[in-house]
Every structure is written in structure tokens, then in C-alpha cells.
């Protein structure tokens, strides 16, 4: 029986077991926090190889069929939302780790590999993929590449962009661009892979990647520190960077009310220090000398206490304490579940301005009668701050008013509306606050060059 000519063609190509359509789509969803919302789509297909992705896109290009790409569904800017007439390509079955090369310290993977699985697999070979963020148990490496993800260790290791050596990408017309090199230096013309990193699947579909690894550190130490003054947060960062000799790998900040909510609303988290401070700093070092590294961090904390840079601190002594400490920082779902109609923000602010700007934004948000909760935290060492704003409803007018308060001061302060989550559907009307008109026009020209029919992740970014 003919259902839809395009679906029939895809069934022939992939097999009925690799396509979901009709009422069966009710079992699928577009985000891991919205599993109760059935997926809206023409169909969902699950290719197993770059060749199949290429064949799918050739069919879609021929039929002017719009396509939305799904990875781990942890995107926070509407990037995985779809409409009834759009085809969804899920990369969940492209989940092979093809090679871990210990000599070149690289790993070659398909884009559907879950980040935590990849981290664990290379760890078994005494190697480290420094990429680390709260959604690592669900996020796919392909999605992390498409959004140029950051996470907890950007201070030391940079964004995903700094970890990519090679990519394989399928273009909107089905053409495959493959450059899976393992070399660090390649100055032969335009670095084309950079166009696809951070472009949110609007220029091509990343199907494979070669990532750079490092030798696994033999020691990891962590501490949580409390203070009531943002200037002292900056002083602490300078003190630790100078005193730790390059082993400081993370420096995270959480505002007091956010920290207290994490502890109070969790059934398992334990606060290592007093809960009355305005700011909580989470510190991690990765090194090679256990006793020396521990002593170094311990002495710097003691000095910071003596100099009144911090008011309290706790250095994790066991793996259990260390894991508890970082779960406080990473388990953002606790905040999301405590904020009705949660609105998420991911902005960049110059480090010296963070304290005053966050205070100003928070003050203005509190003036809105419909705002119920404001939670703030971030990767302060790279200027990346996150907000979750809970509201009484999700009307377009309320969403717009909250957006305007958070985004308004960014342009004049040389900030960005997106530090690591991307633009997606939700932020594109505010892109002008981060980019000039000429930059946006050039982005449109690049999009048209790669995707003249506008079928690949349409409406995202621009």
C-alpha cells in the first residue's frame, strides 16, 4: 500500500525497521526534557552510515524536502524542534567508535556516539577527551560539534573546535565531504571543517569526526570555596592560575540562591560548606603528582582564607566527596524541574563585568510580576554565564519581555547572546545583539551557497 511516495522510497532504501511514521511517531520526542510531547514530523529515519545519510539527502534534495537533524536531544535553543511536514534524521544508530589510536592520540567516531561513552572508552586506554558537561550522558558527539560545545574545562582545553582534527560531512544535496585526517598542522588552504563546527547543522550533517586526545592525567583534585564578593572571585581566579602552574582545569561559579536550591531540592546532594554565601566557586586540577598537586591546592586555599579572598572552603578528600561536589555543579535538571515554564539562557560577558551585569539583570527580572525563580551559574573563567528563569506561564509576550532584559545589555558590553548552546530557533531574532548586519548578511550568503533550497535545519540561526 502506498503511504507517501517519499516515505516509500526511504523504506526501500533503509528498510522498514529504520523508519518511523504515522502514529508510531507518538513514541518519539524532540527533547529529553519533553518526552511527554509526541514528535511532530513527516517521518523519522535512522541511517547507519554516511552513505545512507548521503542517499537520504539526495532524495530530499530532489523532492525539496525539509530535514531536521536529531542527535542526543539535549539542545536548549529549539534546534531539534520539527513540524508535521519535515523529515527527521536521527543519528542514534551511527554510534560506533571506529578507532582509538594511542600513538597519534586520536579517536575516530561516528556522530551518534554518546559523549560519556566516548570519554569512558578513551579513558580505558589512559587517554582523556577533555570535553565535559552535565548532559554528557545523553549528548551525542555530533551535536557537540554542530554547536561547538564548551563545558567545564574550556579554561584549560578550549571549546570543541580546538579538539577537532577532521570531519566527514554530508551536504544538503547529498555530496560527501570527507577529511578524516589525524594531523594537527594542516595549513593547505581554507580550513573547511571550521564552517561546520558551530553551524548547528545548517550547512551540512556531521557524520564522522577525528578528535584530538591527551594523555590522561594521573591526579584529579577538586574544591568548593565560598565568598560574598564578586571581586574576590576574580582575585581567586588570578591567585589559582598563577599558583597552580598550569594544572587548573576548571573554575566554575554558582550564585548563592542557585546553590541553596540545588542542595534543598535534591535528595542526595550534601553541601560540603556553609550554605549562606553569595558565591560558590568549584575548582578542579588535573595533574601528574598526587601529593604535590594536593599540597599546592591546599596551600593556596589556606592563603586565600588568610587574605580574606574566600570565607570558607572544602577540599574533596575521597572520590565520593569529589563526585558529590561536581554533581552539585552539573545536575541542572534539579533547577529546571523547580522552575515552571523554564527559560534557559547561555550568554557571554567580559569577566570583570559579570558581577554587576548579573546583579542588574537579576534586579530587572525580579521587577516582572510573572517571574518566579532566577537561577544563575556559569563557567566564569571564560565569561560564560547561564540563567534559568521560572515564570507563571509561557506566553509569547512573557518570553519576549524576559529575553529583552537578559539580552539588552550585551551588545553595549561586547557580550554574546550565546556562549556555547547556539542560536537555534529561539535566539535568532536577537542575533543582531551579537553580530553586525554585515556579518549576518555574510552568514546568509554562506547558507545559500551550501543549501540553496533551504532544506537542511531550516530557520535555525538566520
Reported in sequence order, the residue ranges of 129-258 that DSSP labels E, i.e. its strands, are 164-170, 176-179, 205-212, 214-215, 219-227, 248-255
Short-list 152, 218, 197, CA closest to 386: 152
Q: Which three cell numbers mark 236?
A: 581567586
Longest dimension (CA), the chain: 79
From the list 397, 405, 457, 461, the residue with the least C-alpha distance to 429 is 461
Q: What is the mean pLDDT of each run of 10 residues along the chain (462 residues)?
A: 83 96 94 90 97 98 98 92 97 98 97 96 96 90 94 91 97 97 92 96 98 95 97 96 93 97 95 97 95 95 97 96 94 92 95 96 97 96 95 96 96 94 92 95 97 97 92
CATH numeric code, 219-330: 3.30.70.2190
Give, in order, the Cα–Cα distances in Å from 252 to each of 64, 164, 217, 222.
45, 24, 20, 11
Q: What is the pLDDT of residue 346?
A: 94
**Assigned C-alpha cell, 329:** 555543579
What is residue 51's predicted lDDT score, i.e. its pLDDT? 98
Does residue 368 sit in helix, strand or coil? coil
Q: Do 219-330 and 97-215 have the same topology in CATH?
A: no
How far apart are alpha carbons 227 and 306 in whole angstroms?
13
pTM for the full predicted model? 0.92
Query: 142 near 111, Cβ under 8 Å?
Result: yes
Which CATH number is 97-215 given?
3.30.465.10
CA of residue 382 relative to chain centroid, distance: 14
What's residue 134's pLDDT?
A: 81
The C-alpha atoms of residue 182 and residue 109 are separated, in whole angstroms, by 12
Residue 367 is placed in which grid cell?
521587577
pLDDT, tens digit, 9 for 90 and up, residues 216-242 = 999 999 999 999 999 999 999 999 999
- What pLDDT score was predicted for residue 94? 98
174 phi-psi bin (left φ>0, alpha ψ -120 to 50, beta other) = left
CATH topology for the 333-421 domain = Alpha-Beta Plaits (3.30.70)
With 0-12 / 13-18 / 19 or more C-beta atoms within 10 angstroms meaning exposed / middle / buried, residue 411 is middle
At 282-294, the pLDDT tens digits run 999 999 999 999 9
Please report the DSSP string for 116-128 in residue order.
Answer: HHHHHHHHTTTEE
C-alpha 304/C-alpha 317 separation (Å) is 19
The pLDDT score that the predictor gives to residue 271 is: 96
Q: Where are the domains of the chain?
A: 5-90, 97-215, 219-330, 333-421
Say if residues 176 and 196 touch (Cβ distance below 8 Å): no
Q: Which of 113, 89, 92 is nearest to 41 (CA)?
A: 89
The whole-number pLDDT of residue 192 equals: 95
**Closest Cα to residue 457, out of 110, 95, 192, 87?**
87
Q: Can you tell me the distance from the alpha carbon of 237 to that of 157, in angstroms, rounded to the nearest whole number?
A: 16
Secondary element (H or E) of residue 61:
helix 50-62
**DSSP string over 384-399:** EEEEEEEES---HHHH
Which pLDDT score, from 0 to 100, does residue 221 have? 97
Q: pLDDT at position 1, please?
A: 46
67-70 and 87-90: which strand pairing?
parallel
Are 73 and 31 within 8 A, CB to CB?
Answer: yes
Question: Cell for 74?
Answer: 539535549
CB–CB of 274/181 below 8 Å?
Answer: no
Look at residues 89, 86, 96, 175 and name the one whose alpha carbon lies nearest to residue 141: 96
List, for residues 434-456, the tens digit of each pLDDT value. 999 999 999 999 999 999 999 99
**What is the Cα–Cα distance from 410 to 388, expressed in whole angstroms?**
17
Q: What is the CATH number of domain 5-90?
A: 3.30.43.10
Amino acid at each position: 500500500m502506498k503511504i507517501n511516495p517519499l516515505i516509500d522510497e526511504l523504506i526501500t532504501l533503509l528498510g522498514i525497521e529504520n523508519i518511523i511514521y504515522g502514529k508510531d511517531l507518538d513514541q518519539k520526542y524532540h527533547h529529553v526534557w519533553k518526552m511527554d510531547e509526541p514528535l511532530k514530523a513527516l517521518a523519522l529515519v535512522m541511517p547507519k552510515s554516511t552513505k545512507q545519510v548521503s542517499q537520504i539527502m539526495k532524495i530530499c534534495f530532489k523532492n525539496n524536502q525539509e530535514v531536521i537533524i536529531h542527535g542526543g536531544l539535549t539542545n536548549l535553543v529549539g534546534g531539534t524542534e520539527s513540524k508535521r511536514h519535515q523529515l527527521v534524521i536521527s543519528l542514534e544508530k551511527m554510534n560506533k567508535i571506529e578507532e582509538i589510536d594511542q600513538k597519534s592520540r586520536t579517536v575516530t567516531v561516528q556522530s551518534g556516539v554518546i559523549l560519556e561513552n566516548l570519554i569512558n572508552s578513551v579513558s580505558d586506554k589512559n587517554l582523556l577527551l577533555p570535553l565535559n558537561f552535565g548532559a554528557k550522558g545523553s549528548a551525542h558527539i555530533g551535536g557537540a560539534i554542530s554547536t561547538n560545545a564548551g563545558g567545564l574545562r574550556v579554561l584549560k582545553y578550549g571549546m570543541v573546535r580546538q579538539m577537532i582534527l577532521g570531519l566527514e560531512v554530508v551536504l544538503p544535496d547529498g555530496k560527501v565531504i570527507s577529511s578524516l585526517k589525524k594531523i594537527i598542522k594542516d595549513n593547505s588552504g581554507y580550513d573547511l571543517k571550521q564552517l561546520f563546527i558551530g553551524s548547528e547543522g545548517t550547512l551540512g550533517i556531521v557524520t564522522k569526526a577525528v578528535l584530538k586526545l591527551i594523555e590522561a592525567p594521573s591526579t584529579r583534585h577538586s574544591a568548593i570555596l565560598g565568598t560574598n564578593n564578586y571581586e574576590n572571585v576574580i582575585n581567586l581566579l588570578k591567585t589559582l592560575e598563577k599558583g597552580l602552574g598550569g594544572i587548573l582545569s576548571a573554575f566554575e561559579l554558582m550564585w548563592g540562591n542557585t546553590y541553596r536550591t540545588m542542595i534543598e531540592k535534591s535528595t542526595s546532594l550534601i553541601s560540603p560548606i556553609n550554605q549562606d554565601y553569595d558565591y560558590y566557586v568549584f575548582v578542579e586540577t588535573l595533574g601528574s603528582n598526587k601529593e604535590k598537586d594536593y599540597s599546592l591546592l591546599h596551600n593556596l586555599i589556606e592563603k586565600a582564607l588568610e587574605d580574606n579572598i574566600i570565607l570558607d572552603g572544602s577540599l574533596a578528600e575521597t572520590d565520593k566527596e569529589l563526585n558529590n561536589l561536581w554533581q552539585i555543579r552539573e545536575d541542572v535538571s534539579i533547577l529546571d524541574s523547580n522552575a515552571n515554564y523554564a527559560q534557559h539562557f547561555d550568554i557571554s560577558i567580559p569577566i570583570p563585568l559579570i558581577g554587576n551585569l548579573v546583579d542588574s539583570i537579576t534586579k530587572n527580572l525580579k521587577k516582572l510580576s510573572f517571574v518566579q525563580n532566577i537561577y544563575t551559574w556559569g563557567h566564569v573563567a571564560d565569561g560564560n554565564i547561564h540563567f534559568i528563569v521560572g515564570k507563571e506561564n509561557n506566553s509569547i509576550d512573557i518570553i519576549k519581555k524576559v529575553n529583552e532584559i537578559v539580552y539588552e545589555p550585551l551588545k553595549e558590553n561586547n557580550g554574546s547572546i550565546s556562549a556555547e548552546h547556539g542560536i537555534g530557533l529561539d535566539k535568532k531574532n536577537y542575533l543582531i545583539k551579537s553580530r553586525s548586519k554585515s556579518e549576518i548578511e555574510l552568514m546568509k550568503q554562506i547558507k545559500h551557497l551550501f543549501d540553496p533550497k533551504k532544506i537542511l535545519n531550516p530557520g535555525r540561526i538566520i
